[in-house]
């Protein structure tokens, strides 16, 4: 394995919430002791329920917020210690794609200005004419036309606005792009087009992608590796195929078994979770998942499970995953044919990844 492009070592982020004149604020542990690394050229998906800390982790990786403790490295350089011109350069090398393409684009700026703005900072050597040419090139790269540079974000559909966001992210020539739910606000057929575009750009430009997502069909089709988060920590990580076909952590099993229609194409024992996710202000001791885990035992209430080897490049944080995996049985393929809904979703993604036109098309503006 090569040196990681991005690495987090024991990173935590806490927030103070709810303090008054007479009461000390509580500490919300949004991310707790997370370590992960991203290899150049791979797509890492970070998945988990809403509120599990995945977006906070993404913002720390981008240096948009500072960790309370722990260290972050980009290409071996300690991110916190980078400043001045080197920080400007780093900001160009790491770019962010937001969930809501509309609110992330300034409605008063034309597309040409939105896409050209990062070039002013990252490429001050370009003349105005060269900058306009570069904007046209970037628009073409994401499937838009040069004349779109003169229009404003509200004139575009959701998928096209996300393309504008991607063109803006590409303007600084990034090595790494972090997408926070980059397609979740889009219609499913448009999602497939944007997934296709990201896969193409990754291939053409040698990009590395970190994708925060909750849609397991998206993750299944675009990721090389998956990290599963629960209540601020990573409970399982490994190659995408292994996570989907032989999950080891009960929380991952529950996430996968909760997908209606078994959209990812694998049937396994249903694992139902009881209760709500505990508050990150007062997380349970021992294994944080023990209040909802159907396999919890006494040891789970007191002892924090370490993230340990569960197969090639695969780790899980559970005291008993070996026993649980044999108890729940090996997963079996769904009998063919899949349901009509699952089949249509699969074919959309298959088309998208094969580079074929995806139906139905977005309305032209
Ligand atoms: Fe469940 Fe215990 Fe494993 Fe936690 S350590 S996931 S509570 S069996």
Q: Give the start-to-end residue ranges of the domains of the chain.
A: 6-223, 228-333
Query: Per residue in 135-169, pLDDT tens?
Result: 999 999 999 999 999 999 999 988 899 999 999 99
**Which residue carries 């590409």 as its tokens?**
170
**What spacing in Å lies between the alpha carbon of 296 and ligand 1's midpoint?**
5
Q: Give, as one character, the DSSP assignment of residue 260.
A: G
- CA distances, 218 to each of 18, 168, 177, 215, 258 (Å): 36, 22, 17, 6, 15
User: Which residues, including other chains, have CB under 8 Å from residue 2's CB and lie 6 or more apart?
Assistant: 39, 40
Report CA(334)–ligand 1 centroid distance (Å): 27
Task: Ligand 1, residue 319: give the atom nearest the CA.
Answer: 5
Q: Is 305 in the pocket of ligand 1 (CB under 6 A)?
A: yes
If one residue of 234, 253, 278, 296 were mutated to test the ligand 1 pocket, choosing by the most ligand atoms within 8 A of its CB, it would be: 296
- Report the DSSP pairing between strands 208-213 and 176-180: parallel
Q: Does 300 sit in the ligand 1 pocket, CB within 6 Å?
A: yes
* Pocket flag, ligand 1, residue 244 (CB < 6 Å): no
**CA of residue 59 to ligand 1 center, whole Å:** 29
Residue 123 corresponds to which tokens in the numbers above? 């490429």
The reply to whether ligand 1 has any atom less than 6 angstroms from the CB of 290 is yes
Ligand 1, atom 7: closest residue by C-alpha: 290
Quick check: CB of 287 below 6 Å from ligand 1? yes
Ligand 1 contact, 161 CB (< 6 A):
no
- For the chain, what percent of residues have pLDDT higher than 90? 48
pTM to 2 decimals? 0.84
Superfamily of domain 6-223, CATH level 4: P-loop containing nucleotide triphosphate hydrolases (3.40.50.300)
What is the band of 218 on the pLDDT scale with cuts at 50, 70, 90? confident
Residue pair 286/303 in contact by the 8 Å Cβ criterion: yes
Distance of CA 166 from the midpoint of ligand 1 (Å): 40
Q: How far apart are CA 203 and CA 136, in angstroms?
A: 21
Q: Is 14 in the pocket of ligand 1 (CB under 6 A)?
A: no
Confidence band (pLDDT; 50, 70, 90) for 325? confident
Is the CB–ligand 1 distance for residue 320 below 6 Å? yes
How much is the pLDDT for 357? Answer: 46
Radius of gyration over every alpha carbon of the chain, rounded to an integer in angstroms: 22
Q: How many A from CA of 93 to the centre of ligand 1?
A: 39
Secondary structure letter of residue 351 according to DSSP: H
Q: Give mean pLDDT, residues 21-43.
A: 90
Q: Is the CB of 293 under 6 A from ligand 1?
A: yes
For the CA of 324, the nearest atom of ligand 1: 8
Q: With CA atoms as reference, report the closest residue to 207 among 158, 142, 143.
A: 142
pLDDT (tens digit, 9 = 90+) per residue, 94-143? 999 888 777 788 899 999 999 999 998 888 888 889 999 999 999 999 99
Question: What does the block give as tokens for 178?
Answer: 């972090």
Mutation pick for ligand 1 pocket among 319, 327, 328 (CB with most ligand atoms within 8 Å): 319
Is 18 exposed, middle or buried (CB count within 10 Å of its CB: 0-12, 13-18, 19+)?
exposed
Higher pLDDT, 187 or 118: 118
Ligand 1 in reach of 250 Cβ (< 6 A): yes
Give the chain's largest Cα–Cα span.
69
Query: What tens digit of pLDDT does each residue of 228-261 get?
Result: 999 999 999 999 989 988 889 999 988 887 665 4
Q: Write down the pLDDT at residue 103.
A: 79
In angstroms, what is the span from residue 304 Cα to ligand 1's centroid? Answer: 9
CA nearest ligand 1 atom 6, residue: 318
Calpha distance 97→361 (Å, rounded)? 22
Kindly list the distances between the CA atom of residue 248 and the CA atoms of 36, 230, 244, in Å, as whole numbers in the listed order.
Answer: 18, 14, 10
289 touches ligand 1 (CB under 6 Å): yes
C-alpha of residue 229 to centroid of ligand 1, in Å: 14
Strands (DSSP E) contained in the chain are: 6-17, 26-38, 43-47, 69-74, 77-78, 94-97, 176-180, 208-213, 225-230, 233-239, 266-267, 308-311, 314-316, 332-333
Out of 34-48, 69-83, 102-116, 179-193, pick the least confident.
179-193
Number of helical H runs and strand E runs in the chain: 12, 14
Q: Which atom from ligand 1 is nearest to the alpha carbon of 249?
A: 6
């Amino acid at each position: 394995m090569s040196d990681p492009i991005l690495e987090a070592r024991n990173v935590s982020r806490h927030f103070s919430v709810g303090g008054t004149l007479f009461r000390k604020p509580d500490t919300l542990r949004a991310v707790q002791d997370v370590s992960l690394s991203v290899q150049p050229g791979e797509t890492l998906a970070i998945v988990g329920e809403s509120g599990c800390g995945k977006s906070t982790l993404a913002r720390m990786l981008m240096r948009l917020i500072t960790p309370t403790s722990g260290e972050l490295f980009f290409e071996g350089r300690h991110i916190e210690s980078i400043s001045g011109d080197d920080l400007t350069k780093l900001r160009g090398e790491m770019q962010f794609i937001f969930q809501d393409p509309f609110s992330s684009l300034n409605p008063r700026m034309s597309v040409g200005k939105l896409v050209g703005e990062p070039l002013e900072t990252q490429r001050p050597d370009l003349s105005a004419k060269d900058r306009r040419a570069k904007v046209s090139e970037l628009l073409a790269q994401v499937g838009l036309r040069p004349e779109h540079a003169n229009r404003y974000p509200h004139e575009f559909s959701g998928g096209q606005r996300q393309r504008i966001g991607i063109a803006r992210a590409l303007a600084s020539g990034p090595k790494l792009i972090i997408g926070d739910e980059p397609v979740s606000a889009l219609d499913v057929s448009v999602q497939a087009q944007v997934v296709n575009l990201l896969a193409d750009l990754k291939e053409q430009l040698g990009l590395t992608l970190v994708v925060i997502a909750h849609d397991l069909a998206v993750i299944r089709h675009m990721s090389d590796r998956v990290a599963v988060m629960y209540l601020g920590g990573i409970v399982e990580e490994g190659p995408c195929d292994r996570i989907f076909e032989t999950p080891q952590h009960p929380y991952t099993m529950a996430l996968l078994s909760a997908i209606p229609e078994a959209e990812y194409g694998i049937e396994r024992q249903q694992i139902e979770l009881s209760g709500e996710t505990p508050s990150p202000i007062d997380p349970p001791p021992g294994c944080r998942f023990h209040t909802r885990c159907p396999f919890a035992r006494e040891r789970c209430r007191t002892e924090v499970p370490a993230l340990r080897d569960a197969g090639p490049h695969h780790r899980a944080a559970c005291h008993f995953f070996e026993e649980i995996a044999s108890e729940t049985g090996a997963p079996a393929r769904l009998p063919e044919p899949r349901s009509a809904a699952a089949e249509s979703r699969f074919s959309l993604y298959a088309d998208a990844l094969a580079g074929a036109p995806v139906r139905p098309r977005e309305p032209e503006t």
